Amino acid sequence: MAILAVGSVAYDTVETAVERRERQLGGSASYFALAAAPLAPVRVVGAVGHDFRPADLELMASRGADLGGVVRLPGPTFHWSGRYHADLIERDTLATELGVFADFAPEIPSAWRDTPYLFLGNIHPALQAGVLAQLRRPRLVVTDTMNFWIQGARPDLERVLAGTDVLLVNDGEARLLSGRRGLADAAAVIRALGPARVVVKKGEHGALYFGPEGVLAVPALLLPQVVDPTGAGDAFAGGFLGSLAAAGADAASGDAPFRRAMLDGTVTASFCPEGFSVEGLLRADGPARARRLESLLAMMRP
Amino acid sequence: MAILAVGSVAYDTVETAVERRERQLGGSASYFALAAAPLAPVRVVGAVGHDFRPADLELMASRGADLGGVVRLPGPTFHWSGRYHADLIERDTLATELGVFADFAPEIPSAWRDTPYLFLGNIHPALQAGVLAQLRRPRLVVTDTMNFWIQGARPDLERVLAGTDVLLVNDGEARLLSGRRGLADAAAVIRALGPARVVVKKGEHGALYFGPEGVLAVPALLLPQVVDPTGAGDAFAGGFLGSLAAAGADAASGDAPFRRAMLDGTVTASFCPEGFSVEGLLRADGPARARRLESLLAMMRP
C-alpha cells in the first residue's frame, strides 16, 4: 500500500575530513523516498527551487517515487551546509538557507488524501499538523521531529503527537521531549502524549523500539567505512515505514510487523553512510539487503 | 571451576549530582569477585593498606570470595576519587592515591597456580605479564586494560595480549589499540595480536562480542535509575568469566558458551549502577538475575 511522504527536498553541501561535496541531493523526503520506494509505492510532497536539477527529479522518479506533489517555486532550493568532525558523528552546521522552503505550506493533491501511510518528515510541527488535517483517516502516521521544534514549537508538536502512531526520535530528543534520562521512562512519557509506539534511534549504537507488547533493541550493522552519515535517520524511516506498508500493518496490529520493520529500517539505514548524499542508498538492492538482514539477525541471536 | 582474579582492592570516593560517598569499597578485583562469586569459586589476589576495614573483607568473604591472596601492607589503601557529570557517564578524576598499590607485585600463592580461569584486571601490563608467568597453563585468560596502558606501556601490553584468550575493552580503547575507527576492523586487528575473542563494552549501549564464529550484539538493560556507574565494567567481567567457569568452557570451545557469557555479563553489570559502590551488585540474587535475563532475551528477539 502507498506511503505519502512530506519533508524537505534539498541540496546539501557536506564536508568531511577527506572530502567536500557541493549541492548534492539531500533532504528528509528525498532520503525517505529512495529508502522506501523498493518496498512500497511512495508519493512525495515537497518544494524545490528554480535551481533544482531535473536529473535529481529523474533519479527519484526512476527509483519509483511519485513526485506528483513536488512543486517548483521561484527562488533557490533549500540548502544545508555542514562539516563533520573526524568521528563522522558530531557535526557543525555552517549554513541553513531556507530558500523556497521558507514559505512552503504542503498542499496534498486531492487524489492523494486517502493515502493509507503517512510519513511526516522533520519540518515545523504546524506544517505537519496541516498535512495531518488534509488526510482522510490514514492507517498509520509516522512522525519525525528534532530538538529545535521540541524546544521552540512544543504546543504544535503536541498536536501532531496526538495524531501520531509512531514517533521516531534520537536518544537526545527522547530525553528532551520527556524530561527523563532513562530511555524506558522517556518512552513511557512520550507514549502518554499520543504515539503508541516510539523508536529511539542511536546511530552507530542501533535503535530501540518501545511498543504495547514490549521493547526491542536492534544493533546497527558494523560498517567497514563511514563516508557521510547525512540522511541515515530518514533512510531508517523509509525502510521502517516501507516495511509496514508492504505488510499492510496498521495501528491495531500487534508488535510483530513493527519489530520486523525495525530490522528493515536498520538494514536500509546501513547503506546510507557508505556514500556521499544518496549514493550509498542507491546501492541497496535486493540481494545486498538480504545479506545484511542475515548478518543483522546473526548478530542478535544469543 | 575456580577463577583467579588479580586487580585492585580499593577505596573510592564518588561524587554525583545528588550525593557524595567517601572511601567506599571499590577496585577492579572487588567488583569482579562480588560479581563472579555467585557463579563460580573466586580467588582474589590484591593488596590493601593498614586502613582497610575488616568489614569489607568480611563482606567479600561472606559472598564466597577466597581472599587468601589479599595481602595487608604498611601504608594506605589505594584511593580513587572522582566526580560524575549530570549524565552519569562522563567523569573527572579528582585524585588517584596509589598507596600500597604503588609497590604491589602480585604473588600467586603456590596452591593457586593451577587455577583454570584467570582474570587480569586493569593494572600495569608488566604486572599482568608477571601473573601470567606464575600460572601453569590456565584454561582461559580474560584481560582488561585501559587507554593509559595502551599509550604508555604498549610493549608490555602486547606481551600480555599474546597470552590472552579474551580481551575486554571499551569502544574508545578498541579504537586506540587498533588504530581503526570501525569496530569490526578494530576487533580484527586486536585478534591478530593474540586474543581469539574480543569484547567491546559500550556502557548504556550494550556490548559487542567478536569471536571465531561471528559477532554478537547485546543491548544493555534499560535501567530506571542510575546512581553510580563505577565498577560496571568489572561487574560485566565477573558475570562473563563466572559464566564461562561455571560452563567449563575453554579456548577450544565453540562460540556458544561465550555468547551465553555475554548475556550473563550484561545481566550482572546491570545491577552495578543501581547503587553506590558494590551495593547494587549485592542485590543481584538468583531470582533477580533470572528476571533480567528474561527481559534481555525478550529485547533481543526479532
Partnered with residue A11 across adjacent β-strands are A25, A79
pLDDT for res B15: 95
Give A270's contacts (C-beta < 8 A, 6+ positions apart).
A220, A221, A223, A292
| pLDDT for residue B196 | 98
Contacts with A294 (C-beta within 8 Å, 6 or more apart), sequence order = none
Number of domains in chain B: 1
| Three-state secondary-structure class, residue A63 | coil
The answer for residues whose C-beta is within 8 angstroms of residue A9's C-beta and 6 or more apart is: A27, A29, A30, A44, A46, A47, A48, A52, A70, A77, A78
Segment A225-229 shows an average pLDDT of 92
d(CA A109, CA B51): 78
A208 contacts in B (CB within 8 Å)?
219, 222
Cell of B140: 582461559
Which single residue is written with the C-alpha cell 557529570? Answer: B85
**What pTM value is reported for the model?**
0.95
Which sign, positive or negative, has the C-alpha torsion A202, A207, A208, A211? positive
Interchain pair B217, A182: CB under 8 A: no
Torsional sign, CA A247, A174, A268, A289: negative
- Name the phi and psi angles at B96, rounded to 5: -130, 105
Render pLDDT for A59-103 as a digit per residue (tens, 0 to 9): 999 999 999 999 999 999 999 999 999 888 899 999 999 999 998
Closest CA to A50 of A78, A13, A22: A78
pLDDT at B233: 97
Spell A166-194 as b/e; 16+ CB within 10 A means b. bbbbbbebbbbbbebbbbebbbeebbebb
Q: Are B302 and A217 inside 8 Å of each other by CB?
A: no
From chain A, pick out residues whose CB is under 8 angstroms from the CB of B218: 302
The pLDDT-based confidence of A16 (bands split at 50, 70, 90) is very high
Interface test with A, best of B85, B89, B198, B205 (most A CBs within 10 A): B205
- Separation between Cα atoms, residue B105 and residue B94, nearest integer Å: 25
- Judged against a pLDDT cut of 90, whether residue B247 lies above it is answered with yes
> How does pLDDT run across B187-227, given as a tens digit for each residue?
999 999 999 999 999 999 999 999 999 999 999 999 988 99
A93 bridge partner residues: A82
List, edge to edge, every strand of the sheet that includes B20-26: B20-26, B10-15, B79-84, B91-97
**Are residues B138 and B116 in contact, defined by beta-carbon separation less than 8 angstroms?**
yes
Do residues B32 and B43 lie in contact, with contact meaning Cβ atoms separated by under 8 Å? no
What's the mean pLDDT in A8-30? 96
Q: Is-contact A81 A12, C-beta < 8 A?
A: yes
| Nearest-angstrom CA–CA distance, A211 and A251 | 11
- pLDDT tens digit sequence for B84-120: 998 888 999 999 999 999 989 999 999 999 999 999 9
By C-alpha distance, which of A45, A57, A63, A60 is closest to A5? A45
Q: How many residues does chain A have?
A: 302
Q: Which residues of A touch B (CB under 8 A)?
A: 87-88, 181-185, 202, 205-206, 208, 214-219, 222-226, 259-260, 262-263, 297-302
Task: Give the pLDDT score at A51.
Answer: 97
Rounded CA-CA distance B65/B50 in Å is 21
Average pLDDT over residues B282-296: 96
Q: Which residues of B touch A88 (CB under 8 A)?
A: 181
Write out the E strands in A196-258. Answer: 197-201, 207-211, 214-218
Catalogue the E-assigned strands of A159-241: 166-170, 197-201, 207-211, 214-218
Whichever domain contains B239, its CATH number is 3.40.1190.20
DSSP, residue by residue, B241-284: HHHHHHHT--TTS-SHHHHHHHHHHHHHHHHGGGSSTTHHHHT-
- The answer to whether the beta carbons of residues A23 and A48 sit under 8 Å apart is no
pLDDT band for position A256 (cuts 50, 70, 90): very high
CB B14 within 8 A of CB B20: yes
Q: Is residue B174 within 8 Å of B186, Cβ to Cβ?
A: yes
Return the axis-axis angle of helices B28-36 and B232-247, rounded to nearest 10°. Answer: 40
pLDDT 10s digits, B139-160: 999 999 999 999 999 999 999 9
Q: What is the mean pLDDT of residues A1-13?
A: 97
Give CA separation, B131 vs A138, A302, B47, B136, B152, in Å: 66, 33, 14, 10, 20
pLDDT of residue A62: 97
pLDDT for B91: 93
Identify the band that residue A142 occupies on the pLDDT scale cut at 50, 70 and 90. Answer: very high
Inter-chain contact A215–B183, Cβ cutoff 8 Å?
no
Tell me what ipTM this predicted complex has: 0.93
d(CA A221, nearest CA chain B) in Å: 10
- Give the residue-averaged pLDDT of B280-296: 96
CA distance B26 to chain A (A): 25
The pLDDT, as a whole number, for residue A87 is 87
Write the CB contacts of B195 (distance below 8 Å, at least 6 apart in sequence).
B143, B161, B164, B165, B166, B167
- Sheet of B42-48: strands edge to edge? B65-72, B42-48, B3-6, B117-120, B140-144, B166-170, B197-201, B207-211, B214-218
Q: Which domain holds residue A113?
A: 3-300
Give the per-residue pLDDT at B269. Answer: 98
Least CB-CB distance to B302: which of A183, A223, A263? A263
| Cα–Cα separations (whole angstroms), residue B130 to A44, A127, A172, B104 | 66, 67, 45, 12
d(C-alpha A155, C-alpha A141), whole Å: 19
Per-residue pLDDT at A75: 96
CB contact under 8 A, B208 and A219: yes
Across all residues in chain A, what is the average pLDDT?
A: 96
Helix (H, G, I), strand (E, B) or coil at A201: strand
